[in-house]
Amino acid sequence: MMFGSTQSESGDNKWRRQLDKFVKANQPELAALFWGLWLENGDSQGTIGIDLQPTPHFVYCPKEQIEKLNTKVENRLQEILGIVENHKPEVEVVMIGIGSGEIKLIQFAPEPSPPACFEQLGKDVDNLLELLEQRMNEQLQS
C-alpha cells in the first residue's frame, strides 16, 4: 500500500519484488522465526515486520501503531488489521514489510507448518534472526 504518490512505480515495484523473492527463498526459516517469536511473546509485542530502511532488519509493529497509521490513512489498512487480528500462527505466517513510506502484507502458509519448521531447523530465535538478517542484507540491498 503506497501512502505518497511521489515515488515512482518502478522503485515501488522493485522493493516489493525483492521482498517477495526473499520471502519465497526463505519460507522455512521465516516460518521458524515467526513460530519461535510467537512462543516467546505471543502477540504481546505486535506483528513481526521487515523494515528495509536503513538496512533490512526485523522489528515489531505494535497493534496500536498499526491502528494509528490506519486512522491517518483513512482506514486503508483495515484489511491488514483484520488479517493480523485473525491469523492462525500454528498454520500461517503473517509479517509486515516496511518500505519507504509504504507497507506490504507478507502472508503465507508454509509446508510444513511453522511449529514443524522451527523444530526441523533446530535453531533458536537469536540464530534465526542473525541468519535471516544476513541473508536480507545480501539479497535486498539495492
Asked whether residue 2 is domain-assigned, the answer is no
Entry pTM: 0.86
| Average per-residue pLDDT for the chain | 88
Region of poorest pLDDT, from 2-11, 76-85, 87-96, 131-140: 2-11
Asked whether residue 102 is domain-assigned, the answer is yes
| Greater model confidence, 32 or 53 | 32
Reply yes or no on whether the pLDDT at 10 is more than 60: no
* Phi and psi torsions of 95, nearest 5°: -135, 170
53 burial type by CB count under 10 A (0-12 exposed, 13-18 middle, 19+ buried): exposed
Asked whether residue 128 is domain-assigned, the answer is yes
pLDDT 10s digits, 92-113: 999 999 987 889 999 999 999 9
**Which pLDDT value is given to residue 6?**
45
Asked whether residue 106 is domain-assigned, the answer is yes
Q: How many domains does the chain have?
A: 1
**Which pLDDT value is given to residue 96?**
94
Asked whether residue 3 is domain-assigned, the answer is no
Range of the domain at 47: 9-139
**In angstroms, rounded to a whole number, what is the distance separating the alpha carbons of residues 75 and 34?**
27
Cβ neighbours for 20, distance < 8 A, ≥ 6 positions apart: none
Cβ-contact 62, 46 below 8 angstroms: yes
